[in-house]
Amino acid sequence: MQLGRTGIVVAEFFFGAAGIGGIGSSAATRGSGLAVTQGVERLNEAWDIGIRVVDTANSYGGGASEETIGRWLDERQPEEALIATKVGARVERGQDDIDLSAAHIDRQLTASIRRLGRVDLYLSQGPDERTPLEETIAAFAAALADGRIRAWGLANATPWQLEEALSVAQREGLPRPEWVQNMFSLLARADERDLMPLARGEGLGYTPYSPLAGGLLSDRYLGGAEPKPGSRIAVAPALYADMFTDGGLERVQALARRARDFDVSTAGLALAWLRAHPGVTAPIVSPHWSGQWDAVHEALELDLTEEDAAAITELFD
């Protein structure tokens, strides 16, 4: 499968390394999540299952995620590996918000390449309201021109922000973003209305993160269990507040019953639905334990028909 119009071929899933050395970008969780040895185990497992894109950010674990991936690349020398990372989040002293100025992008790309060895795919981590979009896109264009990256995209973008980025790139004669990386799952489908049609119409890729809604799209919380300390939902409760409801869990329970018809786990069916979604290029999966790869295996082996996918969608309408 090709990522947007880049000509870069990617597998059906990406591996998300946000849990290495912390949980996402939060400074409060640094040292939590996956230890270095565990992170290397998950990287090896991802590679063995056929995943070739590793997704990280300069802010994950305060840089520990990038450092671990860089060590893994250096030691394993995996051919065909693609490294995606992000820029913009708070990582510098005195930085109080997303920074996508040209100077910041240049400094942080240099730092990411130092940690990782190289960067193939580069994303803005969110909108910067203070820097002119022309300056930001020109900075990505410069990185493309000097061969430091192969493509750039947008993470956490609204339809309006994507449309504006495409318009500015066209007007200025600059390389446009080639894919979008947003939260998307059976429990978070807002992008289906406007952003996905825009992305598909422009030939862009779409790589959703949190495909299991922080674990809600599994059997983990169906028995009334509370989020464990350090879990994604415990760390970022506001992110999942609209999903972690009685109504949301009732829909997950219905998904669990449907999963039994396919002889797969609830999580496996949720990932298979994403894999079959016409607007999705490749979901980003982030197993914490080796056993959690089972759901990915199930999704890769389950080819849902359009009718099956539509019936699953209806459970969450």
Tell me, yes or no, whether 2 lies in a domain.
no
**Is residue 243 domain-resident?**
yes
Strands (E) across the chain are located at 14-16, 53-55, 82-87, 121-124, 151-155, 179-181, 205-206, 284-285
Looking at this protein, which amino acid is placed at residue 202? E
Band the pLDDT of 62: cuts 50, 70, 90: confident
- Which tokens sit at 173? 């004669």
Band (pLDDT 50/70/90 cuts) for residue 189 is very high
Output the CA torsion 192→181→121→22 (10° steps).
Answer: -160
Is position 31 within any domain?
yes
Residue 115 maps to a domain: yes
Residue 233: predicted pLDDT: 79
Identify the pLDDT of residue 240. Answer: 87
pTM of the model: 0.95
Domain span holding position 174: 14-315
pLDDT of residue 278: 97
Q: What percent of the chain has pLDDT over 90?
A: 85
What pLDDT, on the 0 to 100 scale, is given for residue 22? 62
- The backbone region for 299, taken as left when phi is positive above 0, alpha when psi lies in -120 to 50, beta otherwise, is alpha
92 pLDDT tier (thresholds 50, 70, 90): very high
In a domain, 44, yes or no: yes
State how many domains the chain has: 1
Domain contains 248: yes
Tokens linked to 19: 């849990």
In this predicted structure, the answer to whether residue 280 has a pLDDT above a threshold of 70 is yes
C-alpha 209/C-alpha 125 separation (Å) is: 12
67 domain residue, yes or no:
yes
Task: Report whether pLDDT(188) > 60.
Answer: yes
**Does residue 4 fall inside a structural domain?**
no
CATH number at residue 280: 3.20.20.100
Q: How confident is the model at residue 241 (pLDDT cuts 50, 70, 90)?
A: confident
How much is the pLDDT for 30? 54
